[in-house]
Amino acid sequence: MSSKSRPPATAISTDLSPFETAALREGLREFLNRPVKDPQAPKVKVLGGYKYGVYAFFDYDNEPIYVGQTHEKVSTRIRRHLTNQRTDAVAMNVLDPYEVYAIAVWPCPQFQQGKKGDPKIKEHMDTLEAAVFTQLVKHSKFGAVLNEKIPYSRRKAPVPKPIYGAIVSDEVKELRGHPDTRLARRAATIARLAQVINERKVQPGLRRTLKIQATRLLWLAEERYKPFEAQAIKEDAQKDGSGEDEE
């Protein structure tokens, strides 16, 4: 076929984000714009409008993978993690935004008008973050969360019910939630994290994160293998019975 008779190539628009990215941003937008009515902060109309709060990210198995706090605005801090990727947790490969399926937020409306640096607010936020972290660790099948630095407070505090929601659509979940896709992604994250540790002088907490990630990878690999285990055993038995030798 001559070049003149060939059908024109379908143009791919570069003005729009890829489907997965656009869908995730929309899911995040809907979560952060969830309407709220809070008598302690009457001017706050949506979840992302809270200035102070603690948040947690969960993966596709509803496992907690990261806990943090914000004093700049819930929407700003969470978007920085998941879209701008301008946080230490993302830069150091502690948190992979692609693993985040759902978010929980514990707002602190009583400090909405508070000033950054107020020692009383800081103490409360540190205490709540540590309490949330401890609670999530207890509910984790691995008994761990990926934070490089474990939140700590001398005080104890009850953990209220959070505002929780998935940010991933069914279509994106089908693409990113497949265990083989997650295995490949998680293995790549571990490789990058190990490279960071190899090339820099890091704190022990980052090595702990690497260990937790390896444990999570092994668990997912074992879960993925289970449906094929009987078939693998049967095939091995047939090979033994036939007297075939492996090359």
Q: What is the pLDDT of residues 85-134, one digit of tens each?
A: 677 899 899 999 999 999 999 999 999 999 988 999 999 999 999 999 99
> What do you get for the CA distance between the two ends of the chain, in Å?
46
Model confidence pLDDT, tens digit, residues 124-167: 999 999 999 999 999 999 999 999 999 999 999 899 999 999 99
Residue 98: CA atoms inside 13 Å, Cβ hemisphere, count? 16
Q: What domains appear along the chain, each with residue ranges and CATH number? A: 19-169 (3.40.1440.10)
Looking at residue 13, its pLDDT comes to 46
d(CA 66, CA 8): 48
d(CA 118, CA 126): 12
Which residues touch 172 (CB under 8 Å, ≥6 apart)? 20, 23, 24, 27
d(CA 148, CA 126): 16
Q: Indicate the helix (H) or strand (E) that contains 30.
A: helix 19-32
Write out the two tokens for 82.
């998941």
Residues in a beta bridge with 105: 55, 163
